[in-house]
Structures are given as structure tokens and as C-alpha cells.
Structure 1
């Protein structure tokens, strides 16, 4: 997904605990996220913006990749970056930040974060501003509609003149636009779901794993119907500042090792569901 919020809103930077962290609690961060000790290095000479930490920028919520549970941030992305942090002998620290900065690499360039992990699709446009890790997830889009709409395909959305929604400036929104739609844009995945619930739209295009997560809730399963699966050839990657080859290499190694030793499969099944045979 290529999530980026539209419109004007207050810049927020929240520092959150992760399930893999020893520190507990949740608090608002004011100003720069770096610690008093300033930039430092992790194991292997990998540069980090805060001593003893691997600082990750994300944008919440986006289950099953990252979301808050019990005052901590958990999810597939979080678990994979915890593997990187363990190898670097540091602790992952997560900042909840505006997603519009991810395409430009603003928080990476300013030294507020070491990497971005946010269910982010690797695109040529983004590669101009950030360096991506090896792909860690093959993504597809899906159509989710209200039961009462009676639609399960984009063609039916058109023919029955239903309202379509998507998360603002995502690849889902881009795909819908490329097919001639003018989708209602929502700021977050939560807002997308609420738009369906409240009748603002009849159907939405969004990443399939997100839909899978929603439909695990019986109330959602009763109210909505999963429509067509849309193959877009998307792959997710973690991003680092341009030229940060040491951190990129460390992330790549953690992903590659996890796929080789079965850890990736275990985490995939925990947070997303059964792994497609082509990936297992």
C-alpha cells in the first residue's frame, strides 16, 4: 500500500512501546525524537539516531502490520523489525508519524527515524527519495462492500452507480482512479472502515491483508462482503535514508535469514494468516 494522508492536519509524533521492548508505557514526544546522547552506532557499526535504539517511523493504525494493543504497538512489520533490532543489539522504538512524510523521506533525512515500516509499497517514485529493503511482503488489493450494496466487483460498482472509497493517496486509490473512478478519500484505514459502516461509501478498495483482519471480527463479517481480489503486483519494503547502506544491509539480512529459518513463516501465520503456497 502507499499510504499518505491528504489535507491539513497537525503534525504528530508519538513515541510508543513495542511488544519486544523492555520499556513500558505510551507518551507524547515533543520535538526531535533522538535521545540526549544523540546519534550513535549499533552492532556492526550501523548508524542509529539514538543510542541503544532502532527508531522506526510508522503511521497507525494499519493492522495486521502495525496497531496498538494494550498500550503497545504490535504487528507483522513490528515483529520483523524486532528481528533487525535484536541482531543490532538494540531495542526497537516506534514513532507514530504523519504518513505524508514517508514518500519524501522527511523523517529519515531529519534524523528523527532510522527507518520507516508502514506497509509501504515499493515504487519507482519513492525510490527517488529513499532506499528500500528487499521486498518482505507480496500485496494485493481487494474490494470490500456492504452486504446491502449487492456488489462484489468494480464493474458492478460502476453499473449500479455505487460510491467507492479508498485510503488517501494509496495504491488502492491510484488503482481505482486508473479505472476511471473518483473514490472518496479517507485519511486512515480506520476511517475507511468507518466510511463503510456509516454509509458514506458502498465499497472500498484496500489492501487484502487489511480486509482479512477486519473480517475476523464477526460483526464486520456479518455486515460486509469480500469481493474481487485485485492483483497489482505490489511488494512492500522497509525504507531507509538514501545511502544508508549499512542499515539496509542489516534489514535485508534479517528478512532473508527469517525466510530461510522458518521465522518469517511463523510470523506471517501469526499476524496475517496461512501463507500462500507460492511463498511458503
Structure 2
């Protein structure tokens, strides 16, 4: 998903401990300092911005990849980075930050975070500012519409002169624009779905895994219909500051090991749903 939040919200960072961390509970931090004991090294000489922590920047909520549940941040991305943290013998700490910083690498360059994990599409533009891990998720977009609209495809949107929505500065928005639409832009995936629910738009282009989770709710499934899947060739990656080769290697190793030993598939089924056809 190529997300960014519209409008700069400088210095907003909420701090969380993940469900996989040894310390339970929810921490909320004001300002822009990560605090703690200052920089340190994790196992294998991997530098970290806070001793004993692997600090992850994300932008909440974005289920099923990262979202709050029971006072902790959980999800597919969170679980994968917990594997990295375990290998490095540290604890993952999550900062909720404006998504625009992931595009520029701002929080990585400032030493606020070690990595960004936010269902982020790997693009050539972003590679200019950050280094990406190996891809960890093949993503597609989907069209979701109200049942009463009768919209099931983008052609229907055009034919019925329906109002289309998407998350601001995402690949979904870019795709819709490339097809000649001028979608209503929303700041977050939650805002996109709320816009659909409240009738601000008739249909939305949004990441398919988000739709999968949303339609598990019977009320949503009764009122909204999944339309066409849109293959955009997207792959998600975790990002680090350019040149941070040791951390990048640790992330890549955790992803590859998880795929090799079955952990990846287990987490996929837990957080996202059935494995894609042909994958076991």
C-alpha cells in the first residue's frame, strides 16, 4: 500500500510496547524524543537508537498489519518485526508517527526509529530515501462498494458517475488517478472505510487485505460488496536508514527464516487469512 497521511503533523509520536514484548502495557510518549538510555548495540553489533529496544515507526491503524488491540499494538507486520527483535535479543518498541515520514525517511534519518513497518509498498521513488528489506508481502488493491450502488468494477464507477474514494498518496489513489478518476482522498484506511460507510463515497480502492478483515464483520458484509481485484504488482517491504546494512541483513534473515520454517505461513493465517492459491 503506498500510504501517506495528508498534512504534516510535526512531532507527533505515540509510543507502544508490542504484544510480543516482554514488558506488558501501553506507553504514551509526548514530543519527539524516543527517550530511554540512548543509542546502543543489539546482538551481532546491530546499532539501535535506544539500548535494549528495536524502535519501529508505523502509522496506526492499518489492520491487519498493525493496529491496537487490548492496549497493545498487534498485527502481521508487528509479529514479523518481533522475530527480528528476538534474534537481536532486544524488545520491539513502536512509535505511531505521520506516514509522510516513511516516504522521506525522516524519522530514520533523525534517529527517532530504527526501521519503518507500515504495510509500505517498495517503489523506486522511496528507494532514493531509504533502503528496503526483501519483499515480505505481495499486495493487490480491491474495489469495495456499497451494495445499493451496484458498483462492482471501475467501469461501473464511471458508468454510474459514482463517487470514488482512496487513501491519500497511496498506490490505490495513484492507480485510480491513472485510470482517469479524481478520487476523494482520505488520510487513513479507517477514514476511507468510514467515508464509504457514511455515504461520503460510493466505492473505494483500497488494499485487499484491509477489505478481507473489514468484511469479516457481518454488518459490513451485509451492506458492502467486494468488487474487482486490481493487480498492481505491489510488494511490501520494511525500510531502514540508507546504509544501515547490519539491521537490513537482520530483517532479511528473519523474513527468510520465517518463510523457510513455516512461521511466516502461520502468522499469515493468523493475521490475514487463508494463504493465496498455490501457496502452502
Would you call these one fold, judging by a TM-score over 0.5? Answer: yes
Deviation at 1:165, TM superposition (A): 0.1
Alignment of 1:1-280 (within 5 A): 1-9=1-9, 11-280=11-280
Unaligned runs of 5+ in 1: none
Give me the TM-score of the superposition, normalised by structure 1: 0.98
Distance 1:114 1:196 in 2: 35
Deviation at 1:28, TM superposition (A): 2.6
Count of paired positions: 280
Deviation at 1:169, TM superposition (A): 0.4
Deviation at 1:276, TM superposition (A): 1.1
Distance 1:233 1:205 in 2: 15
SS at match of 1:73: strand
Deviation at 1:8, TM superposition (A): 4.7
Distance 2:140 2:36 in 1: 42
Unaligned runs of 5+ in 2: none
Quick one: structure 1 residues 8 and 85, their matched pair in 2 at CA, closer, same or farther if it must change by over 3 Å?
closer
SS at match of 2:104: coil
Distance 1:9 1:246 in 2: 31
Deviation at 1:31, TM superposition (A): 3.1
Deviation at 1:11, TM superposition (A): 4.0
Distance 1:8 1:39 in 2: 27
SS at match of 1:60: coil
SS at match of 2:12: coil
Quick one: structure 1 residues 12 and 237, their matched pair in 2 at CA, closer, same or farther if it must change by over 3 Å?
same
For the aligned residue pairs, the C-alpha RMSD in angstroms reads: 1.1
Aligned partners of 2:153 and 2:228 also within 8 Å: yes
Give me the TM-score of the superposition, normalised by structure 2: 0.98
Aligned partners of 1:35 and 1:51 also within 8 Å: no
Aligned partners of 1:43 and 1:88 also within 8 Å: yes
